[in-house]
Amino acid sequence: MSGLAQLPAWAALAVALLLALGATVALIGALGLMRLPSFYQRIHGPALVVTLGAGAILLASMLYFTVAQSRPVVHELIIFVFILLTAPVVSMMVMRAAIYRDLRTRRPEGGATAGEVYTMPEQ
pLDDT tens figures, 21-36: 999 999 988 888 888 8
User: Which contacts of 24-32 are long-range, i.e. CB under 8 A and separated by 24 or more positions?
Assistant: 24/53, 25/49, 25/52, 25/53, 25/56, 26/53, 26/54, 29/53
Distance CA 56, CA 44 (A): 18
Mean pLDDT for 48-61 is 88
Mean pLDDT, the chain, rounded, equals 82
CB atoms within 10 A of CB 115: 9
Mean pLDDT for 68-76 is 86
Distance CA 19, CA 26 (A): 10
The rounded percent of the chain whose pLDDT value lies above 70 is 81
Is the per-residue pLDDT at 120 higher than 70? Answer: no
Confidence of residue 104 (pLDDT cuts 50, 70, 90): confident
Q: How are the residues of the chain apportioned to helix, strand and coil, as percentages rounded to the nearest 5?
A: 75, 0, 25
Is the per-residue pLDDT at 53 higher than 80? Answer: yes
DSSP 8-class letter at 112:
-
Is the per-residue pLDDT at 17 higher than 80? Answer: yes
